[in-house]
């Protein structure tokens, strides 16, 4: 996929979470440059507004024939389920359709901590916050069909703790059962499980739900590597990443393909996991486990309602 293949998105409304930096920013620029009205769903208003100004300049310089970009801030704190719900409600109150939701934001290999709701933070931010936000917007997305939901996962989902069945819901907050890497893998596995469970529930709708792994991309996501593996490894990882990783503009192409390519709708592609080097590969055995998908759905729904 390439930026030249992105179709005209005039009249489309999109939300990108974590849109102020990295992949989210690159995705936002591409969507807006092709005519979409894009909401940058971020925790920090200042960082989002700075990103909006950067994006306007970049679009003007890179896409001289693009329409005037339509970029707006939407406050979203994925570390707090109530705030995730309020963010969805704030968007609904605007009375707009929603054609593209890209759940891009994420954290990786953070030191153990609990969210505002008392949930391990990587699982809370990468999965639960997006689950609550998506469910709050789902009726509007269905009303706006054909529409797309893209959940950003990772090949890192394969690091989910195999000895705990991928996800052990009874020990989510037990720091002795996991480390930062396996907790990250667990949260990214949850992204694929959620994608497949949601796609099944929307099988009779023209709402196309898919997951994407962007590849090895140079973003701020690696900033906690030193916390997990030591300061020396943190420095090495940062330098290697700068040398060999893809730029966010290139890395964003996989989620942009899932979010915008006519092939998705024309071929009724849903519930799949895409990577950059080939449109689709099979995810891990845990990710394909329908029973685990449904367990996660029930757990997430109950936790949200609670």
Q: Which residues are catalytic?
A: 184
In this structure, are residues 33 and 262 in contact, taking their beta carbons and an 8 Å threshold?
no
Closest C-alpha among 87, 74, 67 to residue 12: 67
144 is written with which tokens?
């706006």
Note whether 193 and 208 are within 8 A (CB).
no
Q: Which residues contact 153 (CB under 8 A, 6 or more apart)?
A: 188, 189, 191, 192, 195, 211, 212, 213, 273, 283
Structure tokens at 270: 């849903």
| Neighbour count for residue 55 (Cβ, 10 Å) | 24
Instruction: Identify whether 146 is preceded by a cis peptide bond (ω within 30 of 0).
Output: yes
**Residues paired with 296 in a beta bridge:** none
The pair of structure tokens assigned to 30 is 């591409």
């Amino acid at each position: 996929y390439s930026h030249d293949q992105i179709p005209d998105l005039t009249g489309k409304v999109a939300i990108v979470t974590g849109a102020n930096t990295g992949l989210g920013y690159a995705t936002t620029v591409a969507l807006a440059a092709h005519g979409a009205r894009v909401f940058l769903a971020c925790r920090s208003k200042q960082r989002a507004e700075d990103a909006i100004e950067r994006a306007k300049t970049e679009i003007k310089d890179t896409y001289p024939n693009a329409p005037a970009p339509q970029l707006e801030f939407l406050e979203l704190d994925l570390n707090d389920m109530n705030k995730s719900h309020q963010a969805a409600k704030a968007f609904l109150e605007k009375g707009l359709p929603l054609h593209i939701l890209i759940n891009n934001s994420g954290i990786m290999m953070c030191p153990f901590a609990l969210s505002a709701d008392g949930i391990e933070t990587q699982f809370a931010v990468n999965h639960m916050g997006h689950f609550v936000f998506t469910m709050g917007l789902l009726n509007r997305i269905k009303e706006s069909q054909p529409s797309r939901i893209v959940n950003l996962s990772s090949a890192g989902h394969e690091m989910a703790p195999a000895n705990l069945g991928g996800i052990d819901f009874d020990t989510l907050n037990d720091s002795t059962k996991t480390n930062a890497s396996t907790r990250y893998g667990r949260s990214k596995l949850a992204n694929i499980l959620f994608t497949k469970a949601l796609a099944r529930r929307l099988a009779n709708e023209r709402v196309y739900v898919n997951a994407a792994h962007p590849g090895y991309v140079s973003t701020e996501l690696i900033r906690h590597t030193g916390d997990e593996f030591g300061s020396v490894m943190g420095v090495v990882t940062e330098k290697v990443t700068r040398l060999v990783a893809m730029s966010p503009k290139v890395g964003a192409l996989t989620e942009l393909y899932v979010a915008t390519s006519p092939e998705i709708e024309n071929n009724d592609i849903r519930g799949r996991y895409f990577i950059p080097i080939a449109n689709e590969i099979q995810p891990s055995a845990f990710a394909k486990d329908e029973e685990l998908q449904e367990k996660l759905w029930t757990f997430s729904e109950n936790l949200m309602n609670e």
